[in-house]
């Protein structure tokens, strides 16, 4: 017992308080998620119930459509060279990748429908290869982060796989995990003294943007540090990687306007299906609007615009702001600003998380940020038994859950805290300079 206490104390001192408690959270969270996975699989294998009738999906509010599991992948591989006439919203590069996986599926199976593809051996193998590709890029990303031992990297990487947004991403079969991994590679290496690593960083950001568009915002880090040459290279690489893949599509699918039109229409369709599973700022305000009965449409537009401009300006012009906070503001842009941001977009917060955990600041606010990061990634076994959102959810497919509400409040709290702290410090510095 004494030896155990001594060992824990040594680990605590080596890691630091913030890292220690977050790692402890990851361990406990992994146990909870494992129990949930058993609760899913065991009854299914015994033939006692469907997988959605259990702790994980009912209490954790983890699936928008439990009969649609993995279908972000299987729906996407069916379009081949004709994605945009089929109302696909993804950028060209990821559609080309999906198209390659689709060619691995025999035509007779593909013609039977996407559900049949999912149930087939070639379909399972294709999804397995996609997951393996994601895992390889993720390992490269985790290996490249600074200030962590090899054991820490392994523990952090595996622990994050058991978090709620990671499991939601896997359940959907979405490519956002791959996108986050490339984004992290960029953040790891964009300021590296090694030319090859800087080049890999720029290419990684271009690929990330060509998967989900939003990571292009991380190019502001290059401007923040006055890396003008790299910024130009990033623009060129981004344009090439984003638009060259159009040549692989059929003639009627080589249309940027058609692609943009699909995105706009898709956003409206999701709004019509309810406010659940989305974490963006406009969705949060619409929940308040639906709850209060007050029209907030103008305020929503103003808030979205203010947050976008404020985050961009602070990242670019306030070079005294800690790096992890700048990266956090950029990650928040990708979650709070787009028209719809599903639960799996929380994975973008992994990028600032690894910087935050390695931050040596002793500020009391670090504990507040620690709690907020935990709330973003935690498996919280709270269902909707309190009936808080019955009026909002009635008649809708995508329903608001308590865990989702917690995540939204945590995101907004991080945004307000960082912006508030930064502006306050800026005001104090300006006031002191004036006095001098």
* Per-residue pLDDT tens digits for 241-263: 999 999 999 999 998 999 988 88
Beta bridge partners of 342: 278
User: pTM score > 0.85 for this model?
Assistant: yes
Contacts of 388 (CB under 8 A, 6+ apart): 402, 405
Neighbour tally for 435: CB within 10 Å: 6
pLDDT band for 315, please (50, 70, 90 cuts). Answer: very high
pLDDT band for 322, please (50, 70, 90 cuts). Answer: very high
pLDDT band for 53, please (50, 70, 90 cuts). Answer: very low
- Rounded distance, CA 315 to CA 325, Å? 9
- Are the beta carbons of 165 and 196 closer than 8 angstroms? no
Residue 369 has pLDDT above 90, yes or no: yes
**What pLDDT score does 372 carry?**
96
CA nearest neighbour of 244 among 216, 206, 198:
206
pLDDT band for 7, please (50, 70, 90 cuts). Answer: confident
CA nearest neighbour of 260 among 93, 79, 89, 75:
89
Q: What is the DSSP letter of 182?
A: H
Residue 49 has pLDDT above 50, yes or no: no
Length of the chain: 436
With vertex at residue 273, the alpha carbon angle to CA 268 and CA 276, rounded to the nearest 5 degrees, is: 105
**What pLDDT score does 195 carry?**
94
Rg (CA), the chain: 22
Which of 1-5, 21-25, 357-361 holds the top average pLDDT?
A: 21-25
Q: Which of 133-142, 348-357, 422-431 has the lowest mean pLDDT?
A: 422-431
**What pLDDT score does 381 carry?**
64
Residue 389 has pLDDT above 90, yes or no: no
- Are the beta carbons of 131 and 177 closer than 8 angstroms? no
Residue 293 has pLDDT above 90, yes or no: no
Which alpha helices (DSSP H) does 218-318 contain, by range? 220-224, 228-243, 256-272, 281-292, 297-317
Q: What mean pLDDT is predicted for residues 203-222?
A: 95
Share of the chain above pLDDT 90, in %: 53
**What pLDDT score does 52 carry?**
46
Average pLDDT, the chain: 85
pLDDT band for 278, please (50, 70, 90 cuts). Answer: confident
- Are the beta carbons of 383 and 61 closer than 8 angstroms? yes
Residue 128 has pLDDT above 80, yes or no: yes
Pick 76 or 63 by higher pLDDT.
76
CA nearest neighbour of 414 among 342, 344, 325, 316:
325
Contacts by residues 39-47 (CB-CB < 8 Å, ≥ 24 positions apart): none
Neighbour tally for 432: CB within 10 Å: 9
- Are the beta carbons of 326 and 224 closer than 8 angstroms? yes
Residue 23 has pLDDT above 80, yes or no: yes
- Kindly report, residue by residue over 397-419, the tens digit of the pLDDT: 777 777 888 899 999 999 999 99
């Amino acid at each position: 017992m004494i030896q155990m206490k001594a060992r824990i104390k040594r680990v605590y001192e080596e890691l630091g308080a913030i890292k220690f408690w977050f790692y402890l959270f990851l361990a406990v969270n992994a146990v909870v998620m494992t129990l949930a996975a058993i609760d899913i699989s065991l009854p299914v294998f015994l033939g006692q119930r469907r997988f959605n009738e259990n702790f994980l999906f009912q209490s954790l509010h983890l699936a928008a459509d439990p009969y649609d599991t993995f279908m972000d992948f299987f729906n996407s591989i069916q379009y081949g060279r004709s994605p945009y006439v089929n109302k696909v919203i993804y950028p060209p590069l990821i559609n080309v990748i999906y198209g390659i996986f689709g060619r691995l599926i025999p035509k007779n199976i593909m013609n039977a429908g996407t559900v049949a593809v999912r149930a087939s051996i070639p379909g399972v193998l294709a999804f397995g290869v996609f997951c393996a590709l994601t895992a390889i890029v993720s390992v490269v990303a985790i290996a490249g982060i600074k200030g962590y031992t090899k054991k820490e990297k392994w523990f952090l990487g595996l622990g994050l796989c058991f978090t709620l947004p990671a499991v939601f991403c896997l359940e959907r079969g979405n490519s956002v995990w791959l996108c986050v991994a490339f984004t992290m590679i960029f953040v790891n290496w964009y300021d590296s003294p090694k030319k090859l690593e800087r080049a890999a960083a720029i290419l990684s950001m271009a690929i990330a943007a060509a998967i989900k568009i939003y990571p292009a915002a991380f190019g502001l880090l290059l401007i923040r540090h006055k890396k003008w040459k790299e910024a130009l290279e990033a623009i060129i690489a981004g344009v090439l990687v984003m638009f060259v893949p159009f040549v692989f599509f059929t003639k009627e699918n080589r249309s940027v306007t058609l692609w943009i039109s699909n995105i706009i229409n898709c956003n409206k369709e999701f709004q019509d299906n309810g406010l659940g599973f989305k974490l963006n700022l406009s969705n949060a305000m619409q929940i308040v609007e639906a709850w209060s009965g007050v029209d907030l449409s103008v305020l929503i537009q103003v808030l979205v615009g203010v947050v976008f401009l404020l985050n961009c300006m602070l990242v670019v012009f306030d070079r005294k702001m800690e790096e992890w906070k700048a990266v956090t503001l950029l990650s928040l842009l990708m979650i709070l600003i787009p028209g719809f941001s599903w639960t799996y977009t929380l994975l973008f917060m992994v990028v600032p998380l690894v910087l935050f955990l390695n931050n040596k600041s002793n500020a009391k606010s670090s504990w507040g940020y620690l709690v907020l990061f935990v709330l973003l990634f935690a498996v919280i076994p709270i269902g909707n038994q309190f009936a808080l959102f019955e009026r909002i959810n009635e008649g809708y497919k995508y329903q608001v859950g308590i865990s989702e509400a917690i995540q939204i409040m945590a995101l907004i709290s991080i945004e307000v805290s960082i912006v508030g702290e930064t502006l306050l410090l800026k005001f104090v510095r300006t006031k002191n300079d004036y006095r001098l």
